[in-house]
Structure 1
Amino acid sequence: MASSNTENSGRASSWSLKGTTALVTGGTRGIGRAVVEELAEFGATVYTCSRNEAELNACLKEWQQKGFLISGSVCDVSSPSQRERFIQQVASTFNGKLNILVNNVGTTVRKPTVE
């Protein structure tokens, strides 16, 4: 997907993700947020999720102001029913076309080694 060298977020870019779709789970904080923004900066249309509706809405508003093509919904991916609904939302948003998946969601459960 090469394109001419153009200025992209203050840095020269020799490639573009324009026309691609991306799903990034847990995209409102930390590494997930950085990935969402990077993909959007390169032109991808991105869908993300968060368990926290207020946090998701704040991020979506900020990204819209930056001109990014990012949408999202509230989802706890540890819940099978929420996961199913989420996948249906993503499939509907992208008309069944997904180019990039970044499974960023993770949880640490600390237990003694013997458990």
Structure 2
Amino acid sequence: TFLSSERAAEREREMAVAGCGSREERWSLAGATALVTGGSKGIGHAIVEELAGFGARVHTCSRNAAELEECRRRWEEKNLRVTVSVCDVSVRAQREKLMETVRQTFDGKLDIL
């Protein structure tokens, strides 16, 4: 069912009073690791920010180094834990290098792809 934004806010207040905590507490991804391809724009960018905002350590890639660096800088300013690398996932050798980078970055632990 669809809840109006007013009803959703009321429900969130009720849950907080009931001890369920805030949205952030209920959806914590602290300690989780994630790889998001295409993270410099569009849906990929939004997913990076959402996962990192919930506490996950995120690695993302893009074909465009300049866009990726600009995003990395903005994420750093927001204190989001995001690492980046340039990668064209359509190229096998670059995918393999990306996975090695992710393995090293996350000590072999990848929770979300």
Same fold by TM-score greater than 0.5: yes
| Aligned partner of 1:24 among 15, 29, 36 | 36
Residue 105 of structure 1 corresponds to none
In structure 2, what is the Cα distance between the partners aligned to 1:36 and 1:84?
21
Provide the alpha-carbon RMSD of the alignment.
Answer: 1.0
1:15 paired with 2:27, answer: yes
For 1:34 and 1:81, the matched residues in 2 are separated by: 27
Give the superposition deviation at 1:64: 0.3
Partner of 2:7: none
What is the deviation of 1:83?
A: 0.8
Q: Which residue does the alignment assign to 1:69?
A: 81
**1:5 to 2:17 alignment:** no
Greater share of residues in strand: 1
Partner of 1:110: none
**TM-score (normalizing by structure 2):** 0.79
Alignment match of 1:79 (pick from 83, 88, 91): 91
Q: 1 or 2, which has the higher helix percentage?
A: 2
Gaps of 5+ in 1: 7-11, 102-115
Matches within 5 A, 1:84-99: 84-99=96-111
Q: Compute the displacement of 1:22 (Å).
A: 0.4
Aligned-pair CA distance for 1:5: 2.1
State the identity as a percent. Answer: 56
**What is the distance in 2 between the residues matched to 1:74 and 1:5?**
38
Kindly tell me the number of residue pairs found equivalent between the two proteins. 93
Distance in 2 (CA, whole Å) between partners of 1:15 and 1:50 is: 27
- Give secondary structure in 1 for the equivalent of 2:89: coil
The Cα offsets for residues 53-107 of structure 1, whole Å up to 9 and x where unpaired, read as: 0000000000000000000100001111111111100000000000000xxxxxx
Bigger-Rg structure (1/2): 2
